[in-house]
Amino acid sequence: MNVTGTTDARRAPDSAVRTGLTAWGASVVLVALIALLGLPPRAHAQAPTRMVFGTNWYAQAEHGGFYQALAEGLYRKAGLDVDISMGGAQINGLQLLLAGRIDLFMGYDIQVLQAREQGLPLVTVAAAFQKDPSVIIAHPDIHRLADLKGRPIYIGAASNTTFWPWLRSAYAFTDEQKRPYAFSVQPFLVDKRSATQGYVTSEPYSVAKGGVTPSIFLLADLGYPPYAQTIVVTQAYLQQHADAIRRFVEATAQGYKQFLVQPEPGNQLIRKANPQMEEGLLRFGLERMREYGLVTGGDAVKGGIMTMTDERWQRTRDFMVEAGLLKATTKHRDAYTLDVVHQVKVLP
């Protein structure tokens, strides 16, 4: 969905043409008019910067700030012409980013740190989620995450290189507990001793529809350190479009702030992009984002929506090195920059 720019309807006075005013003189008159109107020179003459942003999954409430910014014209007001390219099961966003097919991608700290270790020129410039939404969902008889030791836990393959090593270290879980997670909560509903992975914004909704009021453990609130739904670009794109990226981040932060209060404009675009999205799930996702402070909690309280800190990145780096997911010699500071978020401060 494109946001198109507008052209300036102002012209030099007709009398100037009739009296043969020189081109130089006409430009002086135009600049004077612009100054009187309080407009920056050439502000309306410049075409908006075209940007394609790729999400990490099908359109959903978690992406609401981006769709809200598009629906409310916040990107257009920032001088940007933004397309949101929806992700999906068969789409490799990082490959598209590196190939230049998209300009920005919704990434993940661990993914980018591992890519830097491989020499890929990726840089994280902001984080939409201060907390990773990953959860472990258990039956209501479980009151502490540690009580799941020895019980079967449904874990997806990708989690073996994200939060599962953290769970093994923090709670002494073992690989013998793992059961294959196939993006369905049905096995969990059947096995009353089991637990399952999920996102706090989605799987608990399906579990409740299945008749179980679950115990939910948000890993971020227990110490799991990564950000989520980060904005990732290539080094070259950052060097060439630093100001446009800043404007994109600021407009997105404003989009999330509005979405958390009045989400319908963003939800309309989400439903258009993903017609299979349930209304109930959209509402549930938004409620959980508010309840757990995924966007507005943590450092966002003082640093603003989309902010990041060196300390958080250091914690993620240290966890990965300890878990054998990253070499200690990897220059983790190359995986992110705080330059952009230090120029943006949209408080919750």
Give the pLDDT confidence score for residue 45 in this predicted structure: 54
Q: Which residues of the chain have pLDDT under 70?
A: 1-45
One DSSP character per residue, 87-146 reads --TT--HHHHHHTTS-SEEEE-HHHHHHHHHTT--EEEEEEEESS--EEEEE-TT--SGG
What dihedral do alpha carbons 332, 337, 297, 217 form, nearest 10°?
-30
Give the pLDDT confidence score for residue 41 in this predicted structure: 45
CATH, range 134-222 = 3.40.190.10
Give the pLDDT confidence score for residue 46 in this predicted structure: 83
d(CA 194, CA 196): 7
Q: Where in the chain is the domain with CATH 3.40.190.10?
A: 49-132+226-343, 134-222
Give the pLDDT confidence score for residue 291 in this predicted structure: 98
In CATH, which superfamily holds the domain spanning 49-132+226-343? Periplasmic binding protein-like II (3.40.190.10)
Give the pLDDT confidence score for residue 7 in this predicted structure: 30
d(CA 194, CA 100): 43
